[in-house]
Amino acid sequence: MQVTIRAAKASLSKLIDAALSGEEVVIAKGRKPVVKIVPIVRSCFKIGLLKGQVIGDGPDFLKPMDEGALAVWKGID
């Protein structure tokens, strides 16, 4: 579907619904297409997604650093 800017101003919510339902929505300035309304793809975050696929336990970020690693992190020679 292609609509003019004026028509888009008058029916923006309907155009958004159309885009969300999979329809291609193009807004034109005069007869020249200038923008397209597309839905934002949202992926859900799943805790434990890689459980059983990662080898080892990984670093303990809450464990205090040893003095040597801390000096490197601080930039102390």
Whether residue 28 lies inside any domain: the answer is yes
Whether residue 6 lies inside any domain: the answer is yes
Count of domains for the chain:
1
Q: What is the per-residue pLDDT for 62?
A: 86
For residues 44-71, give the mean pLDDT.
Answer: 80
Whether residue 33 lies inside any domain: the answer is yes
Q: What is the per-residue pLDDT for 48?
A: 78
**25 vs 55, residue with greater confidence:** 25
The total of other beta-carbon atoms located within 10 Å of residue 58's CB is 7
Domain enclosing residue 33, as ranges: 2-37
Whether residue 71 lies inside any domain: the answer is no
pTM for the model stands at 0.53
Whether residue 11 lies inside any domain: the answer is yes
For residues 53-73, give the mean pLDDT.
Answer: 83
Q: Which of 14, 24, 12, 19 is nearest to 39 (CA)?
A: 19
Q: What is the per-residue pLDDT for 38?
A: 94
